[in-house]
Amino acid sequence: AQSVAQPEDQVNVAEGNPLTVKCTYSVSGNPYLFWYVQYPNRGLQFLLKYITGDNLVKGSYGFEAEFNKSQTSFHLKKPSALVSDSALYFCAVRVYGGSQGNLIFGKGTKLSVKP
Amino acid sequence: ETGVTQSPTHLIKTRGQQVTLRCSSQSGHNTVSWYQQALGQGPQFIFQYYREEENGRGNFPPRFSGLQFPNYSSELNVNALELDDSALYLCATTGAQNEKLFFGSGTQLSVL
């Protein structure tokens, strides 16, 4: 079965420090991987995606993610966290053989950045 | 702003009732997906519509149904509401094959 796991319910970081939000996946075939962010009372916003190519993917708001096939991971990173980065982050994978909008999401990780 | 609008923003229904949720698509986006997000969980795929036809469905019963209109707006209908249907319902649209979904802010449905 295809799945996405976000092992941390919450990540706490001080402003200015680097942040990492972890994601591992289990899929059939080559994975299409995504990160989305959700602010309170808002829908999800696309951050970045990995389809193929360079294992380090750069996205919106200074975020990047590293695809690691051997570890089946796709961790989200940012060199210097901002208070405004505080939100709920979701990792997702496209269902193998599924339609474009058919994604499996993780449970989400709440990122809290303190001043 | 994603250009995707959902209505209503909040809705309260009682068990057994029927509900219709609406989503207007961003211009040029001919594909719409619907997701259910229970409290503390990630969104779960309900189904997707492309050119007014359902072309993908998640693990949801037939009482969850949808429509897509020629202007690409969409409806999600849920019959015989159950308490477990209480959730945030999100629609997401996309256009060309760029794999990027644009989400609306959702409809918060409470079933009492």
pLDDT tens string, chain A, 115 residues long: the values are 789 999 999 999 999 999 999 999 998 888 899 999 999 878 899 999 999 889 999 999 999 999 999 999 999 999 999 999 999 999 999 987 778 889 999 999 999 999 9
| Burial of B4: CB neighbours in 10 Å, binned 0-12, 13-18, 19+ | buried
Gap between the Cα atoms of A90 and B42, Å rounded: 7
The residue count of chain A comes to: 115
B96 to chain A, closest Cα gap in Å: 10
pLDDT, position B3: 84
Query: Which of B2, B32, B99 is closest, CB to CB, to A32?
Result: B99
Contacts of A99 in chain B (CB under 8 A): 31, 33, 48, 50, 55-56
Q: Which amino acid is at A75?
A: H
Contacts of B5 in chain A (CB under 8 A): none
User: Would you state the structure tokens that stand for residue B32, as one six-digit string?
Assistant: 């719409």
pLDDT, position B96: 67
B48, A100: Cβ pair inside 8 Å? Answer: yes
Backbone angles phi, psi at B26, to 5 degrees: -65, 145
The residue count of chain B comes to: 112
Contacts of A36 in chain B (CB under 8 A): 101, 103
Which 5-64 residues of chain B touch chain A by CB within 8 A? 6, 31-33, 40-45, 48, 50, 55-56, 58
CA-to-CA dists, residue A42 to A4, A37, A39, B83, angstroms:
22, 10, 5, 23
Q: What is the pLDDT of residues B56-82, one digit of tens each?
A: 999 999 999 999 998 889 999 999 999
**Interface A:B, Cβ pairs < 8 A:** 74
